[in-house]
Amino acid sequence: MPLSRLYDEALVYASELHRTQVRKGSGIPYIAHLLSVSSRVLSAGGTEVQAIAGLLHDAPEDQGGRATLNTITERFGNEVARIVADCTDSWVEPKPAWRPRKEAYLSTLPKKQTSSLLVSLADKVDNAEAILNDYRNIGDDIWARFTGGRDGTIWYYRKLSEIFNAVLPGMLARHLTDAVSHFPG
Protein backbone atom coordinates (compact mmCIF):
# COMPACT_ATOMS: atom_id res chain seq x y z
CA MET A 1 0.00 0.00 0.00
CA PRO A 2 1.53 3.35 -0.98
CA LEU A 3 2.21 6.01 1.62
CA SER A 4 0.04 9.11 1.66
CA ARG A 5 0.82 12.81 1.71
CA LEU A 6 0.50 12.67 5.48
CA TYR A 7 3.72 10.65 5.56
CA ASP A 8 5.38 13.32 3.42
CA GLU A 9 4.18 16.00 5.84
CA ALA A 10 5.57 14.04 8.79
CA LEU A 11 8.91 13.66 7.03
CA VAL A 12 9.15 17.40 6.45
CA TYR A 13 8.06 18.13 10.03
CA ALA A 14 10.63 15.69 11.46
CA SER A 15 13.34 17.24 9.31
CA GLU A 16 12.41 20.74 10.45
CA LEU A 17 12.33 19.73 14.13
CA HIS A 18 15.64 17.86 14.11
CA ARG A 19 17.52 19.86 11.46
CA THR A 20 20.34 20.94 13.77
CA GLN A 21 20.72 17.65 15.65
CA VAL A 22 23.41 15.06 15.02
CA ARG A 23 23.89 11.59 16.48
CA LYS A 24 26.04 11.39 19.60
CA GLY A 25 29.70 11.51 18.68
CA SER A 26 29.27 10.53 15.04
CA GLY A 27 28.17 13.84 13.54
CA ILE A 28 25.62 12.01 11.37
CA PRO A 29 22.49 14.13 10.84
CA TYR A 30 19.81 12.94 13.27
CA ILE A 31 17.24 12.61 10.49
CA ALA A 32 19.17 9.50 9.33
CA HIS A 33 18.11 7.76 12.56
CA LEU A 34 14.48 8.79 12.13
CA LEU A 35 14.42 7.60 8.52
CA SER A 36 15.97 4.30 9.57
CA VAL A 37 13.40 3.74 12.32
CA SER A 38 10.54 4.50 9.92
CA SER A 39 12.05 2.21 7.28
CA ARG A 40 12.49 -0.63 9.77
CA VAL A 41 8.85 -0.24 10.83
CA LEU A 42 7.65 -0.47 7.24
CA SER A 43 9.99 -3.38 6.45
CA ALA A 44 8.57 -5.27 9.44
CA GLY A 45 5.03 -4.85 8.11
CA GLY A 46 4.07 -1.78 10.10
CA THR A 47 1.38 0.64 9.05
CA GLU A 48 1.72 4.18 7.78
CA VAL A 49 0.63 5.41 11.22
CA GLN A 50 3.50 3.47 12.81
CA ALA A 51 5.95 4.69 10.15
CA ILE A 52 4.92 8.29 10.85
CA ALA A 53 5.38 7.65 14.57
CA GLY A 54 8.84 6.29 13.72
CA LEU A 55 9.71 9.61 12.11
CA LEU A 56 8.39 11.55 15.10
CA HIS A 57 9.22 9.25 18.02
CA ASP A 58 11.90 11.53 19.47
CA ALA A 59 10.22 14.86 18.72
CA PRO A 60 8.64 15.55 22.14
CA GLU A 61 11.68 14.29 24.06
CA ASP A 62 14.16 16.37 22.04
CA GLN A 63 12.10 19.26 20.70
CA GLY A 64 9.50 20.73 23.00
CA GLY A 65 7.89 18.15 25.25
CA ARG A 66 4.12 18.04 25.57
CA ALA A 67 3.63 21.09 23.35
CA THR A 68 5.25 19.16 20.49
CA LEU A 69 3.14 16.11 21.30
CA ASN A 70 0.04 18.32 21.10
CA THR A 71 1.14 19.52 17.66
CA ILE A 72 1.69 15.91 16.58
CA THR A 73 -1.83 15.06 17.76
CA GLU A 74 -3.33 17.96 15.81
CA ARG A 75 -1.35 17.31 12.63
CA PHE A 76 -1.06 13.51 12.55
CA GLY A 77 -3.79 12.14 14.80
CA ASN A 78 -4.33 10.50 18.16
CA GLU A 79 -2.85 7.13 17.23
CA VAL A 80 0.45 8.60 16.02
CA ALA A 81 0.60 10.74 19.17
CA ARG A 82 -0.12 7.74 21.43
CA ILE A 83 2.70 5.73 19.86
CA VAL A 84 5.10 8.67 20.12
CA ALA A 85 4.12 9.15 23.78
CA ASP A 86 4.75 5.45 24.42
CA CYS A 87 8.28 5.84 23.04
CA THR A 88 9.09 8.68 25.43
CA ASP A 89 10.73 7.73 28.72
CA SER A 90 10.32 11.06 30.53
CA TRP A 91 8.06 14.10 30.38
CA VAL A 92 9.78 16.12 33.07
CA GLU A 93 12.76 18.47 32.86
CA PRO A 94 15.28 17.95 34.10
CA LYS A 95 14.94 14.26 33.42
CA PRO A 96 14.98 11.93 36.42
CA ALA A 97 18.14 9.97 37.18
CA TRP A 98 19.15 7.68 34.32
CA ARG A 99 18.87 4.22 35.92
CA PRO A 100 15.44 4.67 37.58
CA ARG A 101 14.11 6.27 34.38
CA LYS A 102 15.30 3.32 32.30
CA GLU A 103 13.99 0.79 34.83
CA ALA A 104 10.59 2.50 34.73
CA TYR A 105 10.55 2.44 30.92
CA LEU A 106 11.48 -1.25 30.87
CA SER A 107 8.71 -2.07 33.34
CA THR A 108 6.09 -0.45 31.08
CA LEU A 109 7.15 -2.15 27.84
CA PRO A 110 5.23 -5.42 28.32
CA LYS A 111 2.02 -3.41 28.88
CA LYS A 112 2.27 -1.31 25.71
CA GLN A 113 0.23 -1.94 22.59
CA THR A 114 1.88 -3.86 19.76
CA SER A 115 1.72 -0.78 17.53
CA SER A 116 3.91 1.09 20.00
CA LEU A 117 6.21 -1.86 20.61
CA LEU A 118 7.08 -2.12 16.93
CA VAL A 119 8.17 1.52 16.76
CA SER A 120 10.09 1.30 20.03
CA LEU A 121 11.82 -1.89 18.89
CA ALA A 122 12.78 -0.36 15.53
CA ASP A 123 14.27 2.58 17.45
CA LYS A 124 16.23 0.34 19.82
CA VAL A 125 17.55 -1.83 16.97
CA ASP A 126 18.80 1.24 15.12
CA ASN A 127 20.40 2.59 18.30
CA ALA A 128 22.03 -0.74 19.19
CA GLU A 129 23.44 -1.17 15.69
CA ALA A 130 24.81 2.39 15.76
CA ILE A 131 26.44 1.73 19.15
CA LEU A 132 27.95 -1.50 17.88
CA ASN A 133 29.25 0.16 14.73
CA ASP A 134 30.81 3.00 16.71
CA TYR A 135 32.24 0.54 19.25
CA ARG A 136 33.92 -1.36 16.42
CA ASN A 137 35.33 1.90 15.06
CA ILE A 138 36.47 3.69 18.22
CA GLY A 139 36.45 1.05 20.95
CA ASP A 140 35.71 1.71 24.59
CA ASP A 141 35.79 5.49 24.15
CA ILE A 142 32.19 5.21 22.95
CA TRP A 143 30.86 4.54 26.45
CA ALA A 144 31.71 8.08 27.60
CA ARG A 145 28.86 9.30 25.33
CA PHE A 146 26.24 7.59 27.44
CA THR A 147 24.89 8.65 30.82
CA GLY A 148 24.73 4.98 31.81
CA GLY A 149 28.35 4.43 30.85
CA ARG A 150 29.52 1.06 29.56
CA ASP A 151 27.90 -1.18 32.16
CA GLY A 152 24.59 0.69 32.32
CA THR A 153 24.21 0.93 28.56
CA ILE A 154 24.98 -2.75 28.06
CA TRP A 155 22.60 -3.70 30.91
CA TYR A 156 19.83 -1.58 29.37
CA TYR A 157 20.13 -3.03 25.88
CA ARG A 158 20.32 -6.60 27.18
CA LYS A 159 17.13 -6.01 29.17
CA LEU A 160 15.46 -4.48 26.11
CA SER A 161 16.46 -7.52 24.09
CA GLU A 162 14.99 -9.91 26.68
CA ILE A 163 11.72 -8.01 26.86
CA PHE A 164 11.26 -7.56 23.12
CA ASN A 165 11.99 -11.22 22.45
CA ALA A 166 9.18 -12.05 24.88
CA VAL A 167 6.58 -9.46 23.84
CA LEU A 168 7.30 -8.99 20.11
CA PRO A 169 9.34 -11.94 18.86
CA GLY A 170 10.40 -11.87 15.25
CA MET A 171 12.92 -10.43 12.84
CA LEU A 172 13.47 -7.08 14.58
CA ALA A 173 13.82 -8.68 18.01
CA ARG A 174 16.42 -11.03 16.53
CA HIS A 175 18.29 -8.05 15.05
CA LEU A 176 18.37 -6.43 18.49
CA THR A 177 19.61 -9.63 20.11
CA ASP A 178 22.29 -10.00 17.46
CA ALA A 179 23.58 -6.45 17.91
CA VAL A 180 23.55 -6.68 21.71
CA SER A 181 25.31 -10.07 21.62
CA HIS A 182 28.31 -8.31 20.06
CA PHE A 183 28.56 -5.70 22.83
CA PRO A 184 31.59 -6.32 25.07
CA GLY A 185 31.35 -8.16 28.35
Whole-structure pTM value: 0.95
Q: Which domain holds residue 108?
A: 5-181
* CATH code of the domain covering residue 43: 1.10.3210.10
pLDDT digit string (tens) for 97-133? 999 999 999 999 999 999 999 999 999 999 999 999 9
Number of domains composing the chain: 1
pLDDT digit string (tens) for 39-98? 999 999 999 999 999 999 999 988 888 999 999 999 999 999 999 999 999 888 788 999
Distances 91 to 68, 82, 130 between C-alpha atoms, Å = 11, 14, 25
pLDDT digit string (tens) for 139-178? 999 999 999 999 999 999 999 999 999 999 999 999 999 9
Compute the distance between CA of residue 120 and CA of residue 126 in angstroms, rounded to an integer: 10
